[in-house]
Amino acid sequence: MKTLLFPLLLLSSAAQALPEQVILFRHAEKAQGDNPQLTEKGQQRAKHLVSMFNDRAIKHAFSTDYHRTQQTIAPLAKHFGLEVTSYDPQNLEAFSNEVLELKGEVVIVGHSNTTPELVRILSSQEVSIAEDEFNKVFVITYGKFGRVSLSTLSSDNEGK
């Protein structure tokens, strides 16, 4: 787990309301095509994410407007009774500013290029996701005095 002080400039605009945590991950395994659906393995991973976070108090769910991201977040959103809000993957700075004004726990599903960029914007830490990697889950926790910690989890469900 990495911990650092969040830049004061970023905090100043959202000092009154930071989310407790932001949980980010890439969509699960997808089929081929322009706007593909999840594969069977991807559907299983999406269901497993519910068991990973079922004891949380997730208040907000975001996804890009693609089948694979919507299908990845759908089981979590259903479990928590949340509407999924779409965000523009071409405007991550503005979206990040919106996220920083929320309270509670936030889940964001993106892509192999947008998820690391969102982690960087929201935590000032660099991460990466390979094109064939679907298991990384990033948890950003906002603490007192601008302290931010980043944890990386795995959504693998091998042997279960």
Q: Is residue 116 part of a domain?
A: yes
Which tens digit of pLDDT belongs to each residue from 50-88? Answer: 999 999 999 999 999 999 999 999 999 999 999 999 999
Tell me the pTM. Answer: 0.88
CATH number at residue 116: 3.40.50.1240
**Is the pLDDT reported for residue 12 higher than 70?**
no
Per-residue pLDDT averaged across 14-19, rounded?
67
Question: 142 with 18: CB under 8 angstroms?
Answer: yes
* Structural domain span for residue 98: 2-14+33-154
Closest CA to 49 of 21, 86, 22, 79: 79
Closest CA to 138 of 130, 146, 149: 149
Give CA separation, 112 vs 4, 69, 94, 132, in Å. 24, 11, 19, 9
Q: Is residue 22 part of a domain?
A: no
Q: Is residue 53 part of a domain?
A: yes
Q: Is residue 24 part of a domain?
A: no
Distance between CA 47 and CA 39 in Å, rounded? 12
> What pLDDT is recorded for position 136?
98
What is the full DSSP assignment across 29-69? -B-SSSSPPB-HHHHHHHHHHHHHHTTS-EEEEEE-SSHHH
Q: Is residue 96 part of a domain?
A: yes
Q: Is residue 21 part of a domain?
A: no
Question: 10 with 96: CB under 8 angstroms?
Answer: no
Work out how many domains the chain is built from and give that number.
1
Q: Is residue 23 part of a domain?
A: no
Q: Is residue 160 part of a domain?
A: no
Distance between CA 46 and CA 88 in Å, rounded? 21
